[in-house]
Amino acid sequence: MSTHDLYTDSVPSDAWTVPMTGDARFTWEYDDGRDRLLALYQKGKDKQWDSVKRIDWDLEVDPHDVLGVPDQSLAIYGTKYWDMLSVKERGELRRHSTAWQFSQFMHGEQGAMVTAARIVESVPDLDSKFYSATQTMDEARHVELFARFLHEKVGMVYPINTKLQDLLNETLTDSRWDMPYLGMQVLIEGLALAAFGVIRDVTTKPLPKQLLAYVMQDEARHVAFGRLALRDYYKQLSEAELREREEFVIEGCYLMRDRIRGREIWTNFGIDPKEVDEMVENSPYMRMFQSLLFSRIVPCVKDIGLWSDRIRRAYDDMGVLDMSKADLDALMHQDEEIAETVDAERFAAEETARKAEVDAVIADAAAAG
């Protein structure tokens, strides 16, 4: 089935064309490289995996309760709009909400794939080119698995959110080689990583937990790559150049904050998006979710050296300034451990099931004998 048949609203049948500017850079230095970045490149090679084989696609998914999370996670819960919905309509709302979230993940991963390929082309040093090449493959795998999940398990796809599309456009059309890093590795990937983490930790369903745990294992490396590359480069920039990048970060963070409101969902249920904005602001779950979404971005922005009064005021206005205290290295180590734990639990369960099957066969044979 074509993806176009699953979209909640019609989307253009032709490709979204983004005219990209900037130079393609070659380097003739093949031996020199930063040890930490080359170690990350080696890790990127070692950790490649196949989404067809690693993920248990036979797991059943109820499209009307994909994540198994409390209904309090929906912005209209407890309002007059919630009370007006039938049991069937509430199930359909859960389906739309999950389809919207995972559709934005899928579109964002395609943006990350294109941006990583762009970084291979434009970044001046070979160690960064090496790592970006592994990231391009990672992002292709993520697009593949999110697309399959939406097609086979949810049966519904939402178009790309306009705020996400705007940030992708700004990221890809800037001619400066570091801006794809800043827009994608720090902002889009940082917010996606935090969103994946929240859902991974609250879902009670095994398939989405697998998807997100394994994707996060890759994404933790990607954000680390952006930190290493930009921290070195931004030490060399003038105050005026740093100010331009801070303005980009502030604008991008406001775009990302507005994106998570999911106005498209509520429009499909006949609810005024302006009213939903107010409900989002009044929802304890949504306020918590919004705050946690910046848990990876804020400390990363601080770490790479963009930490002026202007940046801090913007984060204070968003209510996420305290996130600057987060330990990124500890969070990313945790992401690695959780993916390994999911693997261990899954294969232990499979081994137990195989042993039970063998024992049953032996018992049947003994009884027959």
Q: What is the pLDDT along the chain (369 residues), one digit of tens a residue?
A: 788 888 988 888 888 888 877 888 898 888 877 888 888 889 889 999 999 999 999 999 999 999 999 998 888 888 899 999 999 999 999 999 999 999 999 999 999 999 999 999 999 989 889 999 999 999 999 999 999 999 999 999 999 998 889 889 988 999 998 998 899 888 988 888 888 999 999 999 999 999 999 999 998 888 888 888 899 899 999 999 999 999 999 998 988 877 667 788 988 888 887 787 788 777 777 777 777 888 889 999 999 999 999 999 999 998 899 999 988 889 888 998 999 999 998 777 666 666 666 666 666 666 666
Q: Which residues does 323 contact at the CB level (< 8 Å), separation at least 6? A: 291, 294, 295, 297, 298, 299, 315
Contact 157, 7 (CB under 8 A): yes
Contact 196, 219 (CB under 8 A): yes
Model pLDDT, residue 355:
63
pTM: 0.88
Nearest to 220 by CA among 200, 240, 250, 193: 193
Position 63, amino acid: P
Model pLDDT, residue 359:
61
CA distance 269 to 262: 12
Q: Is 173 helix (H, G, I), strand (E, B) or coil?
A: helix
Model pLDDT, residue 135:
93
Q: Is 157 helix (H, G, I), strand (E, B) or coil?
A: strand
Model pLDDT, residue 321:
92
**Helix-helix angle 162-173:87-122, to 10 degrees:** 0
Q: What angle do CA 254, 101, 199 make, to 5 degrees?
A: 95
Model pLDDT, residue 345:
86
Domains and CATH numbers, the chain: 3-12+34-341 (1.10.620.20)
HSE, CB side, 13 Å, CA atoms: give it for residue 283.
22
Q: Which helix (H) or strand (E) holds 87?
A: helix 87-122
Nearest to 294 by CA among 336, 334, 254, 338: 254
Model pLDDT, residue 181:
87
Q: Which two tokens stand for residue 155?
A: 């049966």
Model pLDDT, residue 98:
96
